[in-house]
Structure 1
């Protein structure tokens, strides 16, 4: 049986190939996280998976895990000293796995992807990843991200405006 770290690595590599089959280019760069948000924009409408899309049906959990694995592996490849912290005894280890940053910060990439799925573009992945990595990478924010979410239907957001505060 594979360890969680091995599963994360293999699922991250798998999602790169799966996304490529649909024309999304993942190359483990921070900027490629924009493609993750584009994937959600293409496959979601009004806060639910589009019929016939890659997230439609009941089997989307492993896809979300794979996407979260890619997000974490991308951070590890771009932030020296970042590493997964796993707990094989946790029955929810696939969801609770965290990534420790060199500044002692901790993030949960798989939980972030689940929030993106549930909440829509208000929980976009690229701005989050850019924010948590910018002190280590000094990369500028890619303005093309806004074009990815510009076409997102505003009704995709699941929280009414009065519940934001």
Structure 2
């Protein structure tokens, strides 16, 4: 896969865009927060959930959205699944939506993971990498898991590269959820 047009001041995104696999990129748990004035344009994406439903950013307009990139064999993805579920439960009545973006698995594998780990939110099937490619400014292709938090205007307000810790994710979601 060749990535082009990924102009970003983010060192990890630039490294991923180089496509040379130098220094394999893995999430290290680092957190980036983006001030409202520096968030740029709203994320535009369209994809199909494993249940066959097609969604795009218009379907969650006005809500805070947490997008988590994952796949079943990813050890940190397994570790953070209970955290994502817990934070989703905490904020589900506050206009906060959670979506997984599965970057590798067939439907049966993804559904088995979701059953085993009690995942309560839907996931996009993205084996073709369309969603990932649309978001390479924020998500280096090999940095899974990665979690993005979109503000109510659909802009990336925060990113966690690697394992999402509960206190960190809760704080990031809480901060953006209380902002109109």
- TM-score normalised over the length of structure 1: 0.30
- The answer to which structure, 1 or 2, has the higher relative contact order (CA under 8 A, 6+ apart) is 2
More helix by share: 1
More strand by share: 2
